[in-house]
């Protein structure tokens, strides 16, 4: 899906969708919708966004043959696991080593497919804690996936999607976290790694972590209390770490003087469907401790303390707007 259209265009598209979805709209209403749709490219983009969101909520039983579809998904999963085993072997033989092979195999398959066949994964809104074979602790945030690659020489965690928090155990082998943008080598530490399409963010809470970019091999050690963002080519200047960020491992979102638009952006990661916020209230300051397992409750908490209202015309479409 491309960049999200404006809030006003999305709200208008949602209203038209509500009008047309049950097939009872009059010819006059359908003509008015077509005129609106064709009057601006942004309207067409907003309509496509609404259709994409609604389609994602159609149950599998609405497909022509659910049994055939399920069999196809199972076959694809088996092929994916076989392909991953082959790639793991190739990584040992390749001149570029494990880093190059993993970067390559993550690039030629969509992250959603790779996550589906991962060793460990979480659904949207789900959090998990794992104890690895060496005693290290690993937390997976919402919509995240990892492969675990431990051998006699190293302990490697491949982050395929989302975010992980790592608390390393003592071991003679190096512990590495791999993303499409580079590799992080833990130096006796607790740290958080969040990967997006364009970059990886590393936050170090204890010890230090060495970052190495995948394309240019640029390197930097990130100490305790610092965070760094990097892509495959470069590492951005260091910043002070967000000490409240690790609260997600306990299922909480801790916010202190954060604009509502940024809170909404974070909540979207834990919630299926569309969550929008009007520009008129997007800069309101938010404070509080919110439960990530219940985003509906978070919205009610926000509405109780801010001059906003929550509107939900469909189960999968939620909007935050100013109070009337």
Q: What residues does each domain of the chain span?
A: 7-56, 91-245, 251-322
Give every strand in the sheet of 317-322, ordered side by side.
Answer: 274-277, 317-322, 308-314
Q: Determine if the pTM surpasses 0.85.
A: no
CATH topology match: 91-245 vs 251-322 = no
pLDDT of residue 20: 84
Pick from 55, 74, 53, 70: nearest CA to 10: 53
Q: Which CATH code fits 251-322?
A: 3.55.50.30
Residue with tokens 């790639």: 87
Cβ atoms of residues 134 and 124 within 8 Å: no
Tokens of 165: 């928090």
* Tens digits of pLDDT across the chain (324 residues): 457 789 999 989 888 888 888 778 888 988 998 999 999 999 999 889 888 888 877 554 344 444 444 444 444 445 545 555 444 444 433 434 444 444 434 444 555 566 667 889 999 999 999 999 999 999 999 999 999 999 999 999 999 999 999 999 999 999 999 999 999 999 978 999 999 999 999 999 999 999 999 999 999 999 999 999 999 999 999 999 988 889 999 999 999 999 999 999 999 999 999 999 999 999 999 999 999 999 999 999 999 999 999 999 888 999 999 998
**Torsion sign, CA atoms 117, 118, 120, 121:** negative
Pick from 40, 18, 43, 42: nearest CA to 29: 18
What is the CA angle 196-193-264, rounded to 5? 55
pLDDT of residue 56: 77
Q: Which CATH code fits 91-245?
A: 2.60.120.1440
């Amino acid at each position: 899906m491309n960049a999200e259209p404006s809030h006003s265009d999305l709200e208008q598209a949602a209203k038209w969708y509500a009008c047309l979805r049950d097939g009872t709209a009059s010819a006059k209403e359908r003509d008015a919708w077509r005129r609106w749709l064709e009057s601006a490219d942004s309207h067409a983009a907003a309509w496509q966004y609404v259709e994409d969101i609604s389609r994602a909520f159609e149950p599998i039983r609405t497909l022509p043959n659910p049994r055939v579809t399920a069999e196809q998904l199972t076959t694809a999963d088996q092929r994916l696991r076989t392909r991953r085993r082959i790639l793991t072997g190739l990584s040992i033989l390749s001149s570029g080593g494990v880093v190059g092979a993993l970067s390559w195999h993550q690039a030629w398959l969509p992250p959603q497919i790779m996550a589906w066949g991962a060793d460990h994964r979480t659904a949207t809104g789900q959090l998990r804690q794992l104890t690895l074979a060496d005693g290290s602790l690993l937390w997976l945030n919402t919509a995240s996936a990892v492969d675990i690659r431990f051998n006699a020489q190293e302990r490697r965690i491949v982050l395929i999607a989302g975010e992980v928090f790592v608390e390393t155990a003592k071991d003679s082998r190096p512990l590495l976290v791999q993303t499409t943008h580079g590799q992080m080598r833990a130096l006796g530490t607790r740290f958080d790694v969040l990967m997006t399409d364009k970059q990886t963010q590393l936050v170090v809470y204890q010890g230090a972590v060495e970052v190495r970019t995948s394309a240019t091999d640029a390197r930097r050690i990130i100490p305790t209390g610092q965070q760094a963002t990097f892509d495959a080519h470069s590492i951005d200047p260091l910043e002070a770490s967000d000490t409240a960020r690790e609260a997600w491992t306990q299922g909480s979102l801790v916010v202190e003087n954060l604009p509502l638009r940024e809170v909404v952006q974070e909540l979207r990661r834990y919630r299926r469907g569309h969550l929008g916020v009007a520009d008129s209230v997007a800069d309101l300051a938010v404070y509080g401790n919110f439960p990530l397992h219940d985003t509906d409750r978070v919205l009610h908490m926000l509405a109780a303390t801010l001059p906003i209202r929550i509107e939900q015309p469909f189960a999968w479409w939620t909007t935050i707007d100013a109070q009337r």
